[in-house]
Amino acid sequence: MTTREEWIAGARPKTLPAAISPVIVGTAFAGYSAQFLNALLALVVALALQVGVNYANDYSDGIKGTDTDRIGPMRLVGSGIASAESVKRAAFIAFGIGSISGLILAARTSWFLIAIGTAALIAAWTYTGGPRPYGYAGLGEVSVFIFFGLVATLGTYYVQVDSLSREVFLASIAMGCLACAILILNNLRDLEKDKKSGKQTLAVKIGESATRNLFRWSLFAPLALSVALSFFSFYYLIALVTLPLAGRLVRSVRSGADGESLIPLLALSGRLQILYALALSLAALLVAR
């Protein structure tokens, strides 16, 4: 019988900053017009989708045989710890929680959110599931950038103030880049195994060297965007406090870290995203005073 600890590990908690950070930023940019309940619902939606997609990927990769003998977090199906059907059911439960929360949020704000939520659910399942998973065609980073960057940040902001702004749009790009950084590292870690199993991630398509360079730009782009935001207010330069951690990550990846040595860097990338989100949020709240 699968233990609670194994189910938690299978949900890949180290990826959750990608769901939490854009909600923090979107709420902070809403300033003193923020609505607590809407922010909470947006957070539940983001977390449920992240957990759901993690279980869905575990299920789909497991039944395809691409998760055998993997480095990194536990694969419930691939390791044989849990049955494929139980992991699939866990994914659907998470998607169900996200859907219910999204429906409540749509009823409180705009029914247009249903269309966006439906697109997010389809993207979550077809990342590695279905007959033509786009995650196997090198499009995973595109999806993460859109849904855990633009949609999550702008959506969180919109459901609280019923409008959008240039500042929050730039912030959403930054959050998308940082979310992509986590996936880029993950795919760099699995590059050789993915290549052997026929899983054509972006890392497999562009090669190791280009993947390491892409990771570097995915970290420095948010810092450049905080400089761009300083044209609206110098407070946004507070986000540059994350420069030392970003530099440390880039140096480690550029020096050739691979395989198991990338696992702690994944955790650091999640920490960087949270720190950047908090710094940018502090700046947004100072601007809103």
- We report the CATH number of the domain holding residue 86 as 1.10.600
- C-alpha 77/C-alpha 68 separation (Å) is 9
pLDDT at 69: 60
Residue 51 is predicted with a pLDDT of 96
Q: How many structural domains does the chain have?
A: 1
Q: Assess whether pLDDT exceeds 70 at residue 8.
A: yes
Q: How many residues does the chain have?
A: 289
User: Per the structure block, which two tokens stand in for 16?
Assistant: 């959750």
Rounded CA-CA distance 227/31 in Å is 20
Q: For residue 7, is it within any domain? A: no
Q: Is residue 1 part of a domain?
A: no
Distance CA 228, CA 280 (A): 13
Least confident of 40-44, 69-73, 107-111, 218-222: 69-73
- Whether residue 62 is contained in a domain is answered as yes
In a domain, 2, yes or no: no
The predicted pLDDT at position 70 comes to 62
Give the CA-trace dihedral at 130, 132, 135, 137, to 10 degrees: 170
Within a domain: residue 35?
yes
**Quick check: is 3 in a domain?**
no
- Whether the pLDDT of residue 5 is over 80: the answer is yes
pLDDT tens string 102-125: 999 999 999 999 999 999 999 999
The encoded tokens of residue 123 equal 């993207």
- Is residue 6 one of the residues assigned to a domain? no
- Domain range holding 232? 12-287
Mean pLDDT (the chain, rounded): 93
Confidence of residue 144 (pLDDT cuts 50, 70, 90): very high
pLDDT of residue 197: 79
pLDDT score of 67: 62
In a domain, 4, yes or no: no
Cβ pair 157, 31 in contact under 8 A: no
Q: What are the contacts of 100-108 at 24+ separation with CB within 8 A? A: 101/41, 101/44, 101/45, 101/48, 102/41, 102/45, 104/41, 105/38, 105/41, 105/42, 105/45, 105/159, 108/37, 108/38, 108/41, 108/159
Q: For 224-241, write each residue's pLDDT tens digit.
A: 999 999 999 999 999 999
